[in-house]
Amino acid sequence: MELLLALAVIAAVIVFGALVSLGNERQRRAIDELREQVVLWALQDLRIKRERLARDVRVEDPIGWLNRVVAKVTNEDVNLQVVEMFEEPRALICASGSGTERVVFTPLSPNEIQRLKREKHSRLSRVDTQSPLFTLSHRSKTYEISILNGGIVFDRELPLAWKGLTGQTTDFMERVWMYWVR
């Protein structure tokens, strides 16, 4: 009799455990579906806001725009002034207001610069060896600036500001790398 009672209790615990597990799995799926719907809604909302803002994108003061973006990314107020521009590989060199720091902007990531450094010895005629990208040290701070940290319409403003600062037109530039040499 006790054996049957023990088996009934064990069976009941197993059945209730299975029911709870099934209920938890159903809730997990429902929460995952809800999370997916929220992400899709947020993306659509962001697309709508970007489209409204993108119609009116203008960069009247490119150096002022660049200073605001740098201040937003680094949390430091730097009064940048354009010093020099290189065409190949593309680079814009700016100096801080105090003149003690140098900031290099380029669409090339650190990995791409390392690849160019390796290739420069074999293809001297294709790459300008005077470019400041080849003299960057590993100690310089590196920032990737994109819509994530530069603003919701950064990718639309960047080509306009780049053209205003360098005179170069860009096909499509979504991000820029900033190398801060102190």
Q: pLDDT by residue for the chain (182 residues), tens digit each?
A: 888 888 888 888 888 888 888 888 888 889 989 988 988 888 788 778 878 877 788 888 888 998 999 989 888 888 888 888 888 788 888 888 777 788 889 888 888 878 877 775 555 445 555 677 777 777 788 899 988 888 888 888 888 888 888 888 877 788 899 998 87
Residues facing residue 179 across a β-bridge:
104, 142
Question: Residue 34's pLDDT is what?
Answer: 92
Please list, in sequence order, all residues whose beta carbon lies within 8 angstroms of the beta carbon of residue 59, skipping any fewer than 6 positions away: 65, 157, 160, 161, 164
Q: Which residues are 104's β-sheet partners?
A: 93, 179
- CA atoms of 135 and 85, how far apart (whole Å): 15
